[in-house]
Amino acid sequence: MAAELLIENPRRVRFANRHRWPVWLTLLSAVWLLCSVALLGSEADRKVLIRDVTQIQGVRDNQLVGYGLVIGLRNTGDTQQTFFTVQTLANTLQRMGVQIAPGVVVVKNVAAVFVTATLPAFARPGMKVDVTVSSVGDAKSVQGGVLLLTALRAPNGAVYAEAQGPLVIGGYSEGVPGNSKSVNHLTVGRIAEGAIVERDAAVDLSRFRVVSLLLLSSDFTAARDVADTINKEFGKVIATTIDSRRIDVDVAGSGAASVPILIARVQNLSIRFRAPAKVVVNERTGTVVMGGDVRLSPVSVIQGSLTIDVQTTHVVVQPPPLSNGKAETVDETKTTVGDAPAQSIELEEGANVDELIKGLHAIGATSHDIISILQAIKAAGGLQADLEVI
């Protein structure tokens, strides 16, 4: 008997023959299975752009630092005990033609600060970068302050930028001593585009004879795949794997018109990439972060709870009546031991860390217990991943 399909409305479909619906269910299950296999295959063959997993050797950011003054504070600056603040203010005024002795300067609206910034690659004079301003004295807050012109230097001592401007604080402090409210950190501020680049820090790519790609994560397989992909793209061997992190590309052999064109072409190639199996735990916060490829060997975990509580009480003992004795203090110690029954979980071959943690939560293990158990499983050879404790 053929199945009769009845359509009552576009969203409601039912079958008149109830004996044939398992066939349709079987077909749907087959389609779902094929989609699942396709998804799993695509996940295993996940591709990423070379630009996302590498960087160019010699093309990098640079750190800048400077020392300056923040002015305009509302009596929240450094106190007189911070001598270098007063000395810096006196030196600044002297450069402006004002002669004063540092010992007679009494101000509370000035704070000495360090100014830090990151100079991006290919920075040119006139570009603007963000700066972070941090108090180095005993100032209570730099809220509402203005940074005076401060030179930002590289490790070689050369000035690469000049910073100045009003600070933005991600918090506030209101009230009077003994009854005040503070939110976030008040001794660190930020100036968006507060520094202007004064010196060219760009790298001359035209002098590159070899472009060296550096993998962000050391991996021999990924390094080989990057070199193979580049050679296949150009139809000849121009890329060589040096080690697990570095791949050299011959500029002249590529036939590219320029180094930037070569880099752009290489960076937009895609390779198969699988993240390393790694578990990162933070003992201070009890945080556990794991990769999706982490697997466990067959393992059994037994976890119990032993609690020992010791309480000491001071008791005053009075002497007997009509005696010449004195009252004495005696310590009475009470010890309570609680031993909860051990609980266990078992994991089969191929289980992942997510299944382990769910099982540990089911038996009442805390985050710190989980970290200790992961370390023990790694020591026993049951964790097929790199365990990093930070």
77 and 190 assigned to the same domain:
yes
237 and 161 assigned to the same domain:
no
Q: State pTM to two decimals.
A: 0.65
- Provide the domain limits for residue 221: 205-272
Residue 141, beta-bridge partner list: none
Amino acid letter, 49: L
Q: What is the pLDDT along the chain (390 residues), one digit of tens a residue?
A: 444 433 334 333 333 344 444 444 444 444 444 344 344 444 445 789 999 999 999 999 999 999 999 999 988 888 877 888 888 888 888 888 888 877 777 788 999 999 999 999 999 999 999 999 999 988 988 988 999 999 999 999 999 999 999 999 876 666 555 555 666 678 999 999 999 999 998 888 989 999 999 999 888 999 999 999 999 999 999 999 999 999 999 999 999 999 999 999 999 999 988 777 788 887 777 777 777 677 777 767 676 654 545 566 666 767 777 666 677 776 666 666 555 666 666 666 667 667 777 777 777 777 777 777 778 878 877 777 888 887
293 and 251 assigned to the same domain:
no
* Domain-located, residue 366: yes
193 and 81 assigned to the same domain:
yes
* Domain-located, residue 300: yes
- Determine the pLDDT at residue 180: 57
Tokens 């066939």 sit at which residue?
23
**Separation of alpha carbons 375 and 301, rounded Å:** 12
The domain total for the chain is: 3
* Domain-located, residue 284: yes
Q: In what order do the strands lie in the sheet with 295-296?
A: 351-352, 295-296, 383-384
* Domain-located, residue 18: no
79 and 147 assigned to the same domain:
yes
**Separation of alpha carbons 110 and 140, rounded Å:** 11
Record the tokens describing residue 61, joined without a space.
Answer: 């950011």
Q: Are 197 and 220 in contact (CB under 8 A)?
A: no
